[in-house]
Structure formats: C-alpha cells, structure tokens
C-alpha cells in the first residue's frame, strides 16, 4: 500500500533527479570567457614581442572590445581585442613624418642557434595546437625572441597565417591568426 508520505518522498526524489542536474548543466554551460584589460594587454604585447616596461603612452578603452594603444620604438600600435581574448585587428604606424601604416611585422629570419630537436618539438606542438600536419602548411619558421620565448609561424594552405608563442620550456602560451 502506498501512503501519502511515500508519494511526497517519490516526488522529492523525482525533483532532485530531474531538476537539479538540469540546473547544474545550465550553470556549467556558460562558455563566455571574459578577459580583463590586463590580460588583453598581455595578448597584444606577446603578439608584438614587446615587454610592458618598454612601452609608453598606454591607453586602454573598454567597450564591446578592448582598444589598446601604445608607443614603442618610434611606432604607434593599436590593437582591438575581443572580450574573449582574441585579437580582432592590429595596426602599427610610424610616429615620424611618414605616417605609413604597416599591417605586418618585418619577416624575421629563422634562428639557427635553436637545437634541432627542440625546434622540431616546438613545430610539432604548434601544428598539433591547430590540428594540422607539416604537409598542410608552408613557411614554417621558429624564431627565438629576445625574452627567451619562441615564435612559431606558418601558413595553412597559403591562406591563414598562424603565429604561436611558446615559453623557454616549449610550453605554448598563445596562438593567433593574422
């Protein structure tokens, strides 16, 4: 025989079995990553290969995206970084009379002082990070930066240019599409 107490107990268990997992899933499914303006600045400086202590005239405007402007080495840099931490646009122009806008950094020559085995590990990690193999890319280079980080650059099928930044231990720090 089923009593009212048993019915209430079953309803309570049913509530916990159906509603609580739904609430947990909906709370955990928020994939909106929000970065701080400090994190956005770090992404820009990593991409440019510049240290924060070396820049001047820093200006960060918050809105739907972060607009980050700074001067370095007689050049004015302007970045737009989404609140998800992805660089949406970048510009660099000379502070001197020529005011010419340059969209890309000059091509750096690949360093030959990086041990071959370590260089291959960096290449493999960068390619694995974007899910491609060496056969799918061109212009694959590894450059050691002044701050002992490494920039791995390559093009996928001649279209998108990918740059990946790795620390001195070979751990990937960031990747971005140019």
Full-model pTM: 0.41
Q: How many residues does the chain have?
A: 178
Number of domains within the chain: 2
Q: How far apart are CA 104 and CA 91, in angstroms?
A: 8
Give the residue numbers spanning the domain of 66.
37-102
Kind and range of the H or E element at 101? strand 101-102
pLDDT tens digits, one per residue of 151-172: 888 887 666 677 777 777 777 7
In the three-class reduction of DSSP (H, G, I as helix; E, B as strand; rest coil), residue 14 is classed as: helix
Q: Which stretches of the chain score pLDDT less than 50?
A: 27-31, 98-108
Look at residue 78 and tell me if it is in a domain.
yes
Look at residue 28 and tell me if it is in a domain.
no
pLDDT for 159: 64
User: Contact, 167 vs 149, CB < 8 A?
Assistant: yes
pLDDT for 106: 44
Does 54 lie in the same domain as 80?
Answer: yes
Look up the CATH number of the domain holding residue 70. Answer: 3.10.450
């Amino acid at each position: 025989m089923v009593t009212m107490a048993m019915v209430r107990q079953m309803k309570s268990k049913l509530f916990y079995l159906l509603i609580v997992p739904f609430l947990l899933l909906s709370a955990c499914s928020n994939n909106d990553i929000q970065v701080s303006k400090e994190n956005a600045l770090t992404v820009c400086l990593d991409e440019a290969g510049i240290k924060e202590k070396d820049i001047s005239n820093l200006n960060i405007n918050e809105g739907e995206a972060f607009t980050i402007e700074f001067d370095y080495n007689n050049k004015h840099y302007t970045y737009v970084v989404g609140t998800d931490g992805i660089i949406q646009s970048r510009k660099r122009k000379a502070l001197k009379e020529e005011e010419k806008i340059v969209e890309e950094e000059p091509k750096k020559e690949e360093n030959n002082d990086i041990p071959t085995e370590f260089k291959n590990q960096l290449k493999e990690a960068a390619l694995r990070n974007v899910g491609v193999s060496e056969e799918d890319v061109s212009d694959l280079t590894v450059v050691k930066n002044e701050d002992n980080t490494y920039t791995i650059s390559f093009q996928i099928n001649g279209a998108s240019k990918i740059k990946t930044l790795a620390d001195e231990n070979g751990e990937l720090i960031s990747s971005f599409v140019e």
